[in-house]
Amino acid sequence: MRILSASAEKTADVIETMTQHCRQILDPEVSSFRICPEEEIPSVKKKSVTTYAYSNRVIRDSMASVHNPMLGAAVFDQNGWLIRLYGRAEFREWAARRGIVPFSNWLEDSAGVNAVSVGMACKASVEMFGGENYCSLLRDTAIYFTPYILDLGQTFDREDYRTLGGVAIITPLGDGPEDYLFTTEAIAKEVALHLHMVQCFEEFFNTETEGHISIDFDLATSVPHLLYHSNNIYKILGIGERNLHFEPVGTVFDPLPKNREFWRIVNEGMAVQNRRITLCIQGVEREFTIRTLPYQQRFIGFKGVHIFLQSQKLKTSSVSKDVGNIAQLTFEDIVGESPVMVQTIRQAKTLSASDHTMLILGESGVGKDLFARAIHSFSRRSQGPFVTLNCAAIPRELIASELFGYSDGAFTGAKRGGNMGKFELADSGTIFLDEIGDMPLELQATLLDVIESKSFMRVGSNVRRKVDVRVIAATNADMAERIYKRQFREDLFYRLSATQLSIPPLRARGTDIVLLAEYFISSLYNDEAFKPQPILSAEAKRLLMSLPWRGNVRELRNVITNVVSLYDDHIISAEHIQRHLVGSKLYTEPYPAETLSYAASNGYGRNRTITKEELEDCLRKNQYQKAAAARSLGISRKTLYRWLKQFDLA
């Protein structure tokens, strides 16, 4: 017996331990080795396909020059299964009588101590002859085995190995054994090199949007198959993860008559640079940018082409993220514990699971943008871009190019090569159209068509581009009035409001007002750590909860910011807040004129105020529907009737 690459003392201990174990569990006079159950063979093949594929090429070519009819070779997987046996008919017949057959197991609990089981255990090249083998079936056999070992250590001073199977040369025991151990070592190192390259290529070229895949032609068969690939190729191609090594190319890229240009590039070994191409992959057409690098090694016996694919969809998404189109906010960032806010957040989370268009309604400053971002972050599109457009902030003549982009030469001053619009930047993600009620009427029909067809045309182009975008719109406008005045298309409104979410006004959120005020104080304190963090007095809290907050959360934040900035006192009093409100001309001291202070009847236990004008405005917006007006104000109908009587509006 001879062992390479392992200390004699360590190997002797391993063999002694293995032999003792075999005596306890295995009769040395067994008539056959354990055979893999037929139903498990497909699983064994699948797990060892990479090991087998690279071994097969090397061993097949090596065995072609062997003249000894009684010499054979065997490939083993990492679990000791013999997955392929090579040799002439004479050798196979001799081997079968000794249990040396495909899908027999050669680990110690099946075949006892032998060159394969010892080599696997010691991670070393081993040769064993005749009686050195534990089982009587192998006592007239010479076995030379080398395992496939890959070093997985991340540093040079760390030993961390993985065994991926191995190769054996097997012959009848002769008078003077040949030195085949070096042959198995040469084969094993060649195969291990390929296995190492597989791992390397899975990491190379691994950008977010570009993937690499090698298509290899076996010169003996001229059949193309997939060889190396980067580990992001599944995402790039839009296919499920599975083992692609040595898979036929047609199982991923649809065969002719589809993909004619692709197959011409592959079959002719063409070198192309950044060519736009449409590929049909498992029945689905997608756009890619492709570049190729052909290769050929006639002496070794193979040729092929490296293909680098860049997904147009992922590229657009990446560009969008690079320019800052990321939601970044989640429901955890929404401050609020009131029942009405908890219910609103619960409803928003439910709606996040849908891909339907959504219309978010609410007064100015309630946080519609924040909810839109949280909904995106909670949805399946969370890894895609989040793109916003304020329809009221873009000039009418520019909003079309902002939404849909423009082609080269679309108008004077257009950027060379054209420009992507918001919809294109939002591909695979979400587009948030704020102040949708102010969108120009002439553009509303185009938007409706984009939502319906999921495609658009850039300004100045006649080519439609597919887009996968969820549309979330928001408005604080009275949409019923806009539709009545023909300022907004009714069909677009119904299409946008497939799902609706109403954000409650701040005055309906009870103690959330104080919670938000303290949150804003804490945020300012963190930004200006050199100042002690102030606290709200009880009177200040009561005052904050009594104000109407027409500007909602935005107004509250501005009030707190100004008070904290203007006054250095450690305690923020009601007087500080009143002084700021009077100075800002929003209210007259001490409280707004003609207001009613009341105990809220919605269970929040706080005081609120409302003016006669605000009550009349609410009734008008709700078309004098009392139930709708009460819901809008976050109060009961009983409280509404009390207010109507107080202001002589009954």
- Among the ranges 320-329, 597-606, 619-628, which has the highest mean pLDDT value? 619-628
**26 lies in a domain?**
yes
pLDDT band, very low/low/confident/very high, at 210 (cuts 50, 70, 90): confident
pLDDT of residue 113: 92
SS (H, E, C) 307-325: EEEEEHHHHHHHHHHHCCC
* CA nearest to 437, candidates 478, 404, 469, 393: 478
pLDDT of residue 528: 46
622: left (phi over 0), alpha (psi -120 to 50) or beta: alpha
The mean pLDDT of 128-151, rounded to a whole number, is 90
Q: What is the pLDDT of residues 279-296, one digit of tens each?
A: 888 888 888 888 888 877
| Same-domain check for residues 368 and 474 | yes
| Same-domain check for residues 511 and 584 | yes
Q: Is residue 173's pLDDT more than 90?
A: no
* Residue 253, helix vs strand vs coil: strand
Bridge partners (DSSP) of residue 80 are none
Q: β-pairing, 284-297 with 455-457?
A: unpaired
- 312: Cβ–Cβ under 8 A, 6 or more apart, which residues? 276, 286, 287, 288, 289
The last residue of a domain, from among 313, 345, 363: 313
pLDDT band, very low/low/confident/very high, at 408 (cuts 50, 70, 90): low
pLDDT of residue 160: 58
**Residue 643 token pair:** 């207010």
The mean pLDDT of 257-272, rounded to a whole number, is 89
Q: CATH number of the domain that 361 lies in?
A: 3.40.50.300
Q: Is residue 234's pLDDT more than 70?
A: yes
- Among the ranges 8-12, 424-428, 557-561, 580-584, which has the highest mean pLDDT value? 557-561
The mean pLDDT of 449-456, rounded to a whole number, is 89
Q: Is residue 86's pLDDT more than 90?
A: yes
Kindly report which listed range (270-274, 277-281, 482-486, 609-613) carries the lowest average pLDDT score. 609-613
Sheet holding 499-502, edge to edge: 386-390, 430-434, 470-475, 358-361, 499-502
**73 lies in a domain?**
yes
Percent of the chain at pLDDT exceeding 90: 27
| Same-domain check for residues 493 and 512 | no
What are the backbone dihedrals phi and psi of residue 56, each rounded to the nearest 5 degrees, phi first?
A: -60, -45
Percent of the chain at pLDDT exceeding 70: 83
| Same-domain check for residues 465 and 336 | yes
Name the average pLDDT for the chain.
81
What are the backbone dihedrals phi and psi of residue 579, each rounded to the nearest 5 degrees, phi first?
A: -60, -40
Asked whether 278 and 251 are in contact (CB, 8 A), the reply is: no
CB-based burial label for 154 (10 Å; 0-12, 13-18, 19+): exposed
Bridge partners (DSSP) of residue 216 are 225, 304
pLDDT band, very low/low/confident/very high, at 225 (cuts 50, 70, 90): confident
A 10 A CB-CB count for 367 gives 23
| Same-domain check for residues 339 and 459 | yes
**624 lies in a domain?**
no
pLDDT band, very low/low/confident/very high, at 422 (cuts 50, 70, 90): confident
Q: Is residue 433's pLDDT more than 80?
A: yes
Q: What is the pLDDT of residues 437-451, one digit of tens each?
A: 988 888 899 899 999
First vs last C-alpha separation in the chain? 108
pLDDT band, very low/low/confident/very high, at 413 (cuts 50, 70, 90): low
Kindly report which listed range (3-17, 41-55, 548-562, 599-613) carries the lowest average pLDDT score. 599-613
The mean pLDDT of 255-272, rounded to a whole number, is 89
pLDDT band, very low/low/confident/very high, at 4 (cuts 50, 70, 90): low
| Same-domain check for residues 25 and 72 | yes
pLDDT band, very low/low/confident/very high, at 157 (cuts 50, 70, 90): very low
Q: CATH number of the domain that 260 lies in?
A: 3.30.450.20
| Same-domain check for residues 159 and 215 | no
Q: Is residue 586's pLDDT more than 80?
A: no
Q: Is residue 591's pLDDT more than 60?
A: no
Alpha carbon distance 59, 64 (integer Å) = 9
Alpha carbon distance 450, 466 (integer Å) = 9
**533 lies in a domain?**
yes
| Same-domain check for residues 178 and 232 | no
pLDDT band, very low/low/confident/very high, at 415 (cuts 50, 70, 90): low
Cis peptide before 505 (omega within 30 of 0): no
| Same-domain check for residues 471 and 573 | no
Q: What is the pLDDT of residues 30-60, one digit of tens each?
A: 888 999 999 999 889 888 887 888 788 788 8
| Same-domain check for residues 483 and 539 | no
- Among the ranges 152-166, 216-230, 356-370, 617-631, which has the highest mean pLDDT value? 356-370
Bridge partners (DSSP) of residue 224 are 217
Q: Is residue 142's pLDDT more than 70?
A: yes
| Same-domain check for residues 146 and 244 | no
Start-end of H helices in 151-243? 181-203, 233-237
* CA nearest to 389, candidates 399, 379, 376: 399
**626 lies in a domain?**
no
Q: Is residue 506's pLDDT more than 60?
A: yes
**CA dist list (Å): 386 to 208, 372, 381, 426, 566:** 17, 9, 9, 6, 37
Q: Is residue 95's pLDDT more than 90?
A: yes
Q: Is residue 207's pLDDT more than 70?
A: no
**378 lies in a domain?**
yes
What is the residue range of 213's domain?
204-313
- Among the ranges 198-202, 340-344, 405-409, 420-424, which has the highest mean pLDDT value? 340-344
pLDDT band, very low/low/confident/very high, at 162 (cuts 50, 70, 90): confident
pLDDT of residue 601: 35
Q: Is residue 215's pLDDT more than 50?
A: yes
Alpha carbon distance 545, 556 (integer Å) = 11
* Residue 213, helix vs strand vs coil: strand
**636 lies in a domain?**
no
* CA nearest to 281, candidates 313, 320, 315: 313
**236 lies in a domain?**
yes
| Same-domain check for residues 172 and 244 | no
Kindly report which listed range (109-118, 153-162, 514-523) carries the lowest average pLDDT score. 153-162
Q: β-pairing, 275-281 with 284-297?
A: antiparallel
Q: State how many domains the chain has.
A: 4
**Residue 476 token pair:** 């604080």
Q: Is residue 344's pLDDT more than 70?
A: yes
Q: What is the pLDDT of residues 355-396, one digit of tens each?
A: 899 999 999 999 999 999 999 989 988 878 888 888 888 877
pLDDT band, very low/low/confident/very high, at 343 (cuts 50, 70, 90): very high
Q: Each residue of 64-83: b (16+ CB within 10 Å) or e?
A: eebeeeebbbbbbbbbbbbb
